[in-house]
Structure 1
Amino acid sequence: MQTLTATPVQGVEPAVHGEGPTWDAARRELVWVDIDAGLVRRATVSPAGVLAEVGVHRGGDTVGFVVPAADGGWLLGADGGFTHLSVDGEATVLVELPGEGPGAGTRMNDGAVDPVGRLLGGTMGFDERPGAGSLYRVDLDGSVHTVLTGLTISNGIEWTADGRTVYLADSGAAQIRAYAYDVDDGSFGDDRVFLDLSDDDGPPDGLTLDDEDHVWVALWGAGQVRRYSPDGELVAQVQVTAANTSSCAFAGPSLDHLVISTSTQGLETVPPDAGRLFVVRPGVTGRPAGVYRGPVDALRQA
């Protein structure tokens, strides 16, 4: 098994609850969120893997994820719904999901865009109560649909290269499930447990896939990111000097750097590297983030 060590990024200020690094290929920028601070952050990534922060924008009281939008700017999972963030930093609430949000004790968590350009985003309870989480899909016409209910912490989500399988982590259940995916209509089909980490060093959090369809997943509380083959075999491990590893994404001009987010959440004593981004060059490349292809105006009017 390959063992790697990630390097903490010193030129970027730590987050309170860093999450969801995402490579915006059109802008050639890394975007990520500080959930508890309600911030979207942006940085360039050099060919050598050096990060330089270029912007910080408020997206809501809490922001669970950020993805690029073809219409410009980004779509966020913020508070209890979906928000558009313009390139000049203006946040506009588009959809408030019924039964979600602070009044219901829930917030948006992780999300991603499918191979066609639909947006999927999940929720969780602030108290992490079982069954409080759901997964929603935003179609290209702006309509919003409930895909799954009864989750606990809807977390990392990503598709295989052929689009026929989608992986979804539920941190509450400490599992990653693999679902058959219908690219034509965005529906989930038969599922199986891809990984059960309930007896491991930590539950699965954010995840990404590389160009070989291997799954890279951050283990919350374990200070590591792991690489698993499509058959579920552990083939690589990245050590991180911050316990709360929260997510990861391939970034940079050649998509050959793995950027890892971390969090200070729940730590009584905050070590120097907690909340920082980390970078490692793992020897494989990934794919840029999916882009929401629907018109933002349609989502605003839905």
Structure 2
Amino acid sequence: MRPDEWRPQWRACAPFRYQLAEGARWIDDRLLFVDLLEGALYRCRGLPGADPERLLQLDMPLGAAAPVAGTDGEWIVAAGAGIALTGPDGLTWLSRPGDRRNRSMRMNDGACDPSGRFWAGSMEVQAATGAGSLYRTDPDGSVHEVLDNLSVPNGPAFSADGRLMYLADSARRAITRHTVDPVTGELGRPQLFAHFAQDEGRPDGLTVDDNGNLWVALWGAGRVLCYQPDGRPLHTVHVPTPHASSVAFGGGFMFVTTALHRLERPGPLAGAVLAGSTGVTAPPARLFGPRRPA
């Protein structure tokens, strides 16, 4: 099956350009995203042209963030070497699995599932093969390593009922699919969902739409791909800069974050957060919770 090709009329959501914009999430009629290397979390209106509001500024890389349920402006973050809660007093670390004597590690992408658990991956800063892991943070604040031997984990993304998880390993150019126990969060055995050739780019951020289709931002390829749940390709969306890093839907728009990082000759839209009109819809991002640790 040959996927349909889309060429949206992309517009930048703001005049700013980011080193490594990632983690696009739609929630409360606003778009959230991070500039990973700058340690910043931003929120902006869906209408292109609105200046983003900076919600967090950390002194370490910020891979992902999700709102904490029942709070006003508190977040769970995958940042630096671990996972933490933010609040008026700064960061409260839940776990710092990246603190290793023999490795320089940092957290990468992450997201909440429909049960309020926060899942986030870690990687070695030079993307050493097999050095990364995937961690699940339960609503009680306990952190569990659930997968190891990963290289550059991105995503994850979940089906609407939370029973399926998709996870990209960008360095290995692969996406796996796992069953998830909705009560315990335990993962089933991985199944290969998609693999990408050398010239097809690397799978980065993921999202699942309201029809259960998986959307994949392809780093280095200037494309976003859409797959049906059975793995058949459905759409190819062209992006006007090589490093597409994540994708989200909301407010009648498709959003794609991009990066200046590792581009020798960046074009005018490199590093922009892009928006294009679409009829595709997706569930809003989930919250972490409900219970916070004391």
Q: 1:194 to 1:201 in 2, by over 3 A?
A: same
Residue in 1 aligned with 2:206?
207
Q: Check whether the contact 1:9–1:51 (CA below 8 A) recurs between aligned residues.
A: no
Overall identity of the aligned pairs, in %: 35
Match in the other structure for 1:77? 78
CA distance 1:51–1:33, change in 2 (3 Å): same
Q: Which of 14, 23, 32 is the matching residue for 1:20?
A: 23
* 1:6-45 equivalent positions in 2, closer than 5 A: 6-9=9-12, 11-25=14-28, 28-45=29-46
Residues 111 and 156 in structure 2, CA contact (< 8 A), matched pair in contact too: yes
Q: CA deviation at 1:94?
A: 2.0
SS in 1 for 2:7: strand
Residue type matched to 1:40 in 2? L
The gaps in structure 2 that reach 5 residues or longer are none
Query: How far apart, CA to CA, are the structure 1 residues paired with 2:78 and 2:15?
Result: 23
Superposition deviation, residue 215 in structure 1: 0.5
1:266 aligns with 2:262: yes
CA distance in 1, matches of 2:200, 2:23: 21
CA contact (8 A) 1:6 1:278 kept: no
Equivalent runs, 1:135-284 vs 2, <5 Å: 135-252=134-251, 256-284=252-280
Q: Distance in 2 between matches of 1:102 and 1:122?
A: 19
Letter in 2 for 1:53: P
Cα distance, 1:56 vs. partner?
4.7
Once the two structures are superposed, what CA deviation does each residue of 1:56-102 show, in whole Å capped at 9, x if it has no partner? 5313410001112113322111101123344x8x7414224234479
- Compared CA separation, residues 34 and 164, structure 1 to 2 (3 A): same
Tell me which amino acid in the other structure corresponds to 2:84.
Answer: T
- The 8 Å contact of residues 98 and 104 in structure 2, kept in 1 or not, is answered as no
Paired with 1:38 and 1:229, the residues of 2 have a C-alpha distance of 34
Distance 1:50 1:288, change over 3 A: farther
How many residue pairs get aligned? The number is 289
Comparing 115-124 with 70-79, which one deviates more in the overlay? 70-79
Q: Is residue 2:283 matched to residue 1:287?
A: yes
AA matched with 1:112: A
Residue of structure 2 equivalent to 1:115: 114
Tell me the alpha carbon deviations over residues 271-297 of structure 1, each in whole angstroms, 9 at most, x when there is no partner: 22111001122322111001001333x
Helix, strand or coil for the counterpart of 1:188? coil
**Which of 4, 8, 11 lines up with 2:7 in the alignment?**
4
- Structure 1 residue matching 2:272: 3-state secondary structure: coil
Find the aligned partners of 1:159 and 1:37 in 2 and give their Cα distance: 27
Q: Secondary structure at the match of 2:119?
A: strand
Cα distance in structure 1, aligned partners of 2:11 and 2:106: 29
Q: Is the alpha carbon distance of 1:291 and 1:121 closer, same or farther for their aligned partners in structure 2, counting shifts above 3 Å?
A: same
- Contact conserved, 2:8 with 2:277, CA < 8 A, in 1? no
The answer to whether the Cα contact below 8 Å between 1:167 and 1:178 also exists between their aligned partners in 2 is yes
Residues 91 and 59 of structure 1: is their aligned pair in 2 closer, same or farther, counting only changes over 3 Å? Answer: farther
Contact 1:177 1:192 survives alignment (8 Å) = yes
Distance in structure 1 (CA, Å) of the matches to 2:83 and 2:241: 30
Q: Is the 8 A contact 1:39 1:63 kept in 2?
A: yes
TM-score of the superposed pair, with normalisation by structure 2: 0.92
- Return the offset for 1:10: 5.4
Aligned to 1:67: 66
Higher mean alpha-carbon deviation, 66-75 vs 91-100, is at: 91-100
2:123 aligns with 124
1:77-116 counterparts in 2 under 5 A?
Answer: 77-86=78-87, 91-100=90-99, 104-116=103-115
Deviation digits for residues 183-221 of structure 1 (CA, Å, limit 9, x no counterpart): 110010122111011344101000101000001110000
SS, match of residue 232 in structure 1: coil
Q: What SS does structure 2 have at the residue aligned with 1:211? A: coil
